[in-house]
Structure 1
Amino acid sequence: MLRRAAAAICALACVFAVSACGADDADGKVRIGIKFDQPGLGFKKNGTYVGFDVDVAKYIAKKLGYSEDQIVWKEAPSKQREAMLQNGDVDFIVATYSITDERKKVVSFAGPYFVAGQDLLVRKDETSIKGPEDLNGKRLCSVTGSTSAVTVKEKFANEVQLMEQPGYAECATALFSGIVDAVTTDDIILAGLASASRGRLRVVGKPFTQEYYGVGIKKGDTQLATKINNAIADMIQDGSWKRAIADNTKGTSYTPNAKYNPPEPTEGEK
Structure 2
Amino acid sequence: MRKIATVVTAALLLCGCGTGLGGGTSILDKDELVVAVKSDQPGLAVRTGAGRFEGFDVDVAAYVAARLGKKVTFVETTSEGREAKLRDGEADMVVATYSISPERQGQVTFAGPYYVSHQDILVRAGYRRIRDVRDLEGRRLCQAQGSISTSRIVDGRQIAAELVPARTYGECVDLLKAGAVEAVSTGDLILAGFAARERGAFAIVNAPFTDERYGIALPLGDVEACEQVNRAITDMYQDGTAAGLLDKWFAGSGLRLSPHVPEFEGCVT
* Fold in common (TM above 0.5): yes
1:211, distance to aligned residue in structure 2 (A): 1.2
C-alpha deviations, 1:9-42, integer Å up to 9, x for none?
xxxxxxxx95176xxx4xx421001111110111
Structure 1 letter corresponding to 2:162: Q
| Candidates 56, 60, 66, aligned match of 1:62 | 66
**1:19 corresponds to which residue?**
27
1:78 aligns with 2:79: yes
Q: How does 1:85-234 map onto structure 2 within 5 Å?
A: 85-155=86-156, 158-234=159-235
Measured in 2, the distance between the counterparts of 1:221 and 1:161 equals 39
Distance change in 2, residues 1:110/1:230 (3 Å): same
Identify the residue that residue 267 of structure 1 maps to in structure 2: 266
1:234 deviates by: 0.3
What residue in structure 2 maps to residue 42 of structure 1?
45
Q: Return the alpha-carbon distance in structure 2 between the equivalents of residues 224 and 241 of structure 1.
A: 20
Query: Please, which runs of 5 or more residues in structure 2 have no aligned partner?
Result: 1-24
Aligned to 2:56: 52
Q: What secondary structure sits across from 1:130 in the alignment?
A: coil
Correspondence 1:30 to 2:33: yes
* 1:265 alignment partner AA: F
Distance 1:18 1:199 in 2: 46
The 4+ residue runs of structure 1 with deviation greater than 6 A are none
Distance 1:122 1:158 in 2: 17
Give the number of equivalent residue pairs: 246
2:33 and 2:150 map into 1 onto residues whose CA distance is 31
Structure 1 distance, partners of 2:229, 2:237, is 12
Instruction: Give the drift of 1:233.
Output: 0.3
Which amino acid letter does the alignment assign opposite residue 61 of structure 1? A
Alignment check: 8 A CA contact 2:154 2:160 kept: no
Distance 2:199 2:109 in 1: 37
- How far apart are 1:230 and its partner, in Å? 0.5
Question: Identity rate of aligned residues, in percent?
Answer: 39
1 CA distance for matches of 2:187 and 2:143? 10
SS at match of 2:210: coil
Q: TM-score, normalised by structure 1?
A: 0.85
Is the CA contact (8 Å cut-off) linking 1:233 and 1:264 kept in structure 2?
A: no
Q: Distance in 2 between matches of 1:179 and 1:114?
A: 31
State the distance in 1 between where 2:215 and 2:266 align.
8
CA distance in 1, matches of 2:95, 2:201: 28
Q: Distance in 2 between matches of 1:257 and 1:205?
A: 15
Residue 47 of structure 2 aligns with an amino acid whose one-letter code is K
Q: How far apart, in 2, do the equivalents of 1:208 and 1:153 lie? A: 13
Q: In 2, distance between residues paired with 1:149 and 1:160? A: 9
In 2: Cα distance, 1:224 partner to 1:183 partner: 34
